[in-house]
Amino acid sequence: LGFRRTNAKLAQSLKISDAGDTDLQVDQLATKEEIEAANEKASMLGGADAKGKKPRPATANTLLLGITKASLQSDSFLSAASFQETTKVLTEASLSGIKDPLRGLKENIILGHLIPAGTAFKPYLDMKVKHLAEAPIPKQLEELREVKEAEAAADQAVKAALGL
Which residue, among 126, 124, 81, 86, has the nearest Cα to 106 in the 3D structure?
Answer: 81
pLDDT digits (tens, 9 = 90+) for 51-77: 567 788 888 887 666 656 655 566 788
Residue at 5: amino acid letter: R
Distances (CA, A) of 74 to 139, 151, 162: 57, 69, 82
Q: In the chain, where are the structural domains located?
A: 1-73
Cα separation, 45 vs 31, in Å, equals 21
Cα separation, 68 vs 71, in Å, equals 5
Cα separation, 157 vs 164, in Å, equals 10
Backbone angles phi and psi of 14, in degrees to 5: -120, 145
Residue 57 has a pLDDT of 84
CB 15 within 8 A of CB 61: yes
CB 10 within 8 A of CB 65: yes
Q: How many whole angstroms from its chain centre is CA 149?
A: 51
Per-residue pLDDT of the chain (164 residues; tens, 9 = 90+): 455 655 565 566 778 888 888 888 888 878 888 888 888 888 887 655 545 677 888 888 876 666 566 555 667 888 788 777 788 888 988 898 988 888 888 888 888 888 877 776 777 777 777 777 777 677 778 888 899 999 999 999 999 998 87
Residue 1 has a pLDDT of 44
